[in-house]
Amino acid sequence: MDSEALRKFSALHPRPAGLTLHYGTAGFRSAAQQLDHVVFRMGLLAALRSKAVTATIGIMVTASHNPEEDNGVKLVDPLGEMLHPSWEEYATQLANAEEQELQKVITEICQKAAVNLHKDASVFIGRDTRPSSKKLSQSVIDGIQVLGGQYHDYGLVTTPQLHYMVCCQNTQGQYGKATLEGYYEKLSKAFMELIKQSHCSGEFQRHLKIDCANGVGALKLSEMKPYFPQEVLIHIYNDGTKEKLNHLCGADFVKVHQKPPGGLDMKPNERCCSFDGDADRIVYYYKDTAGHFHLIDGDKIATLISIFLKELLAKVKQNFKMAVVQTAYANGNSTRYLQETLKVPVHCVKTGVKHLHHKAQEFDVGVYFEANGHGTVLFSKAAETKIRQLVTEEKDNEKREAAKMLENMIDLINQTVGDAVSDMLVIEAILALKGLSVQQWDALYTDLPNRLLKVQVADRRVIDTTDAERRALTPPGLQEKIDALVKKYKLSRAFVRPSGTEDVVRIYAEADTQENADALAHEVSLAVF
Ligand code: NG1
Ligand code: ZN
């Protein structure tokens, strides 16, 4: 390690005294002006991780749905997954080290993680459209270079595009080409192949209004448009040319407030959707003829995809194991519908994409979605190989056609991480193939009224949870109080957990009516203090 270079560059990226940050469920997030030293040091860490695993590592500068003034950074592991949990601690140590301790901390990480500093390092960089992102990504480069690493800066990309690039690079092109053109070509080809098999006619069905949260999704969707023929009618709103990122729009705004975004005029029964700021989340919605707003969240997206895949899996008759993975935030009626009506096994895991992804890997077909609209589908290598084989070798027409559809779904879905663009195309293809309107999709089940609140407490870490965050272990007595409150209402459920991305405690409640869900959430919030 070139100690002189490390000293010189870390002095250019000083750490504000007394600032401690943690690598949480979404990497580091904070006010942008507090992050320069963090991104520099994450450049160092990405180079170390790359040397440790002898593969290309990704680093994305984004704070997703947070306000424009915030920013964040997260690392992407070789197959496009989130950074391995064992390294999250190294990230936190490195970010919080005193300047004069940096070299020591790096040496410690090298010892603990068996990193050979003489090895090469390769890092892919991406960033969102925040005004602070460009400068922060330059600081990332400084960090990589201090450790002698190579880098490729993709500039403005969606978070899932960066995950895709990293995966392509490390699988020698098996997953696709590690370029934006490669991404657009792969997805558009699979999508066109799929809708070729649709018998649904009429242009009306294909219109879709997309709120891009004034973020990078708008740029990338516009780039992708020429890859589709004219009959794919997507209309982009909140493209970032007029308003601020995530301000009164985007998937998180729509989900949390359960109302339409600003900047998008919605006519009755029009199909609309919202991306978040870095385009890894999507929710759908529409307004009925009476003017009522209907949200179609991640749970209902998972349900639609599961219905479609289950039908195809039945046709190919391979006994593939399929399951849906949710978190405690999944609406109780979605879980009930999946288990009781669709008869698909459902698993509940802790909040955070890495937990969902990990669980979904246990199945041949693992569908995972957070209620907030982050999700994807994972296919096991064995299932994928078998499906591709059926496409070329199967004599039975129906079976072969089903396999063909599954193959195109495999290619259309970004299996590295939730991807708003890819999920949107998956959903549009399924609606077209099944001839479903947005209202019919929405009517699969009715969401139980629910309320999500956040409260600020002195130290949110005093709350410790178990059972996939559905029960509180500490502080003592809290769970008993929640149990007693839940008993007062019908069809009710409530839980509390410390947020991994904000300094707050989140409270979730569900009940038979909106009034009861609101009352229960409020009462639980009082019990938290
Ligand atoms: P926290 O802040 O830990 O609740 C939020 C979301 C997660 C996930 C992460 C990462 C909710 C209730 N929580 O986590 O689902 O998306 O952000 O962005 O939506
Ligand atoms: Zn996001």
Find the 232 Cα to ligand 1 centroid distance in Å.
32
User: pLDDT per residue over 84-118, tens digit each?
Assistant: 999 999 999 999 999 999 999 999 999 999 999 99
Instruction: Give me the chain's average pLDDT, please.
Output: 96
Give residue for tokens 């969606």.
158
Find the 115 Cα to ligand 1 centroid distance in Å.
32
Q: Is 415 helix (H, G, I), strand (E, B) or coil?
A: coil
Which residues form the pocket of ligand 1, taking CB atoms under 6 Å from any ligand atom? 25-26, 64, 329, 351, 370, 372, 374, 499-502, 506
Q: Which helix (H) or strand (E) segment is 293 a member of?
A: strand 293-296
Find the 501 Cα to ligand 1 centroid distance in Å.
7
Residue 319 is predicted with a pLDDT of 95
Q: Cα(254)–Cα(517) distance, rounded to whole angstroms?
A: 19
Atom 10 in ligand 1: residue holding the nearest Cα: 26
Q: Which segments in the chain show pLDDT lower than 50?
A: 203-204
Q: Which helix (H) or strand (E) segment is 527 a member of?
A: helix 514-528
Residue 202 is predicted with a pLDDT of 52
How many CB atoms lie under 10 A from the CB of residue 209?
Answer: 20
Q: Cα(414)–Cα(184) distance, rounded to whole angstroms?
A: 12
Q: Cα(79)–Cα(189) distance, rounded to whole angstroms?
A: 22
Query: For a pocket test of ligand 1, which of 159, 370, 453 has the largest count of ligand atoms closer than 8 A to its C-beta?
Result: 370
CA 478, 479, 484, 485 torsion-angle sign: positive
Q: Which atom of ligand 1 is nearest to the CA of 25?
A: 10
Instruction: Write the single-letter amino acid at 329.
Output: Y
| Catalytic residue numbers, as ranges | 64
Atom 5 in ligand 1: residue holding the nearest Cα: 501
Atom 11 in ligand 1: residue holding the nearest Cα: 372
Instruction: Write the single-letter amino acid at 487.
Output: K
Q: Is 2 helix (H, G, I), strand (E, B) or coil?
A: coil
Domains in the chain and their CATH numbers? 3-156 (3.40.120.10), 177-447 (no CATH), 450-528 (3.30.310.50)
Ligand index nearest the alpha carbon of residue 255: 1
What's the ipTM?
Answer: 0.97
Query: For a pocket test of ligand 1, which of 351, 499, 505 has the largest count of ligand atoms closer than 8 A to its C-beta?
Result: 351
Q: Which atom of ligand 1 is nearest to the CA of 506?
A: 4
Contacts of 184 (CB under 8 A, 6+ apart): 223, 224, 227
Ligand index nearest the alpha carbon of residue 372: 1
Find the 65 Cα to ligand 2 centroid distance in Å.
6
